[in-house]
Amino acid sequence: GIYILIAVGAVMMFVGFLGCYGAIQESQCLLGTFFTCLVILFACEVAAGIWGFVNKDQIAKDVKQFYDQAFQQALMAESETNNGKAVVKTFHETLDCCGPDTATGAVTPLWRDDLCPKKDSILKNLFESSNCHKKIDELFSGKLYLIGIAAIVVAVIMIFEMILSMVLCCGIRNSSVY
C-alpha cells in the first residue's frame, strides 16, 4: 500500500511539473500533455471511487484484518520502535477505541494501557472504550458521506485545472508571436 501511495505521489509531482513548466515556457505541447494526464488521473479517480463504493464492505473487512494483524504484532512486541504499536496507537487515538472484537480486546485496557487512549479512570477505560471493529464499521457506513464530499471537492478542483489548462493552451495558440 505504501509503494502505491509513493508512486501516485511521484506521478502527481510529475504532472504538476508538466503543467508548471508548460505554463512558464508557454508550450502548447506540454500543456496538452498536462491536460491529457489530468483527464487520465480524473478517470482513474472516478473509477477508484466507484470501485470503493461498490466494495466498501470488503474494504472494511480488509481494514479490520489489517488492524488485527497490527494488534497481534503490538501485543507480541517488547520495544517501542515496533511498527505494529504505532499503527495500533494511531487506530486507537483516531477512532477512540481499544482492542479488536474479541475477549482479548476487552481486557487489553487493563494490562496494556500503553496501547489504549488514556481515560480518567480504569473503570471508565474498561466500560466506555468500544472495540475497534465496531468503530471501523461505523466509519465505513456512517461517515461515507464525508469521503464522498472530499471526493467531489477533489473532482471539482481537477475539472477547474483541466479547464484552466485548456484556456491557457488556447490563449498561447491565439497569441501573436513576438
Residues contacting 104, CB < 8 A, separation 6+: 75
State which amino acid sits at residue 92.
H
Q: Provide long-range contacts, Cβ within 8 A and 24+ apart, for 25-28.
A: 26/172, 26/175, 27/172, 28/169, 28/172, 28/173
pLDDT digits over 65-99, tens only?
988 888 888 877 666 656 778 888 888 888 888 77
Question: Residues 90-131: pLDDT tens digits?
Answer: 888 888 887 776 555 555 544 456 677 665 545 544 555 578
Instruction: Report the C-alpha gap between 40 and 12 in whole angstroms.
Output: 12
Domain 1-176 has CATH 3.40.50.150: no
Domain ranges of the chain: 1-176
How is residue 30 written as a grid cell? 506540454
d(CA 165, CA 161): 6
Residue of 128 and 4 predicted with greater confidence: 4
Tens of pLDDT, residues 122-173:
554 455 557 888 888 888 887 778 878 888 999 999 999 999 999 998 888 8
Whether residue 6 is predicted with pLDDT greater than 70 in this model: the reply is yes
Helices (H), 55-176: 56-76, 83-95, 103-111, 122-128, 132-142, 144-174
pLDDT, one tens digit per residue, over 39-55 is 999 998 889 888 888 88
C-alpha cell at 43: 478517470
The end-to-end CA distance of the chain, in Å, is 50
